[in-house]
Homo-oligomer: A and B are copies of this chain.
Amino acid sequence: MIHTISKIRVRYAETDRMDIVYHSNYLVWFETARILMLDQIGLPYKLIEKNGLFIPVLEARASYLSPARFDDRLDIHLYMRQKPRVRFYLEYEVKRSKELLVKGSTAHGFIDKNGKGVRPPNQFIEQINAAWNENA
């Protein structure tokens, strides 16, 4: 399993007049966790794009259990529980201290500059394998 924790402090711009975080912002935070995960396995997303590949979001889901609010310090947990094949799947938990606020998931694949789906590059598979923690 891969497990990454990205830290977020809720911005005023991310709240709405219900005095909670507007729900679409969680998808943006899920992405900060993906970017950090790629950093941590040693293959920054910026480098992937420099190599002419992109990792679009194919599916996204979120279940909103309890609202985050302005100025909250949040942990965005990312979990990769299955090794990537053509597609790969990520799960997320947004927590304020111990409290679980939002659960989510995304599905991804690689595409090239023409938008054509391609297999994940070997380097990605290898770095995931190297980072994989059987016990986590």
Contact = CB atoms under 8 A, between A and B. Distances in A.
A58 interface: yes
Q: Which of A18, A69, A115 is most buried by chain B, counting CB atoms within 10 A of its CB? A: A18
Contacts of A69: 17
A interface secondary structure, majority? mixed
A134 interface: no
Interface residues of A, number: 37
Contact of A16 (B17, B59, B64, B67): B17
B23 A57 contact: yes
A130 interface: no
9 contacts: A11-B35, A12-B16, A12-B31, A12-B45, A18-B56, A23-B27, A23-B57, A24-B24, A44-B71
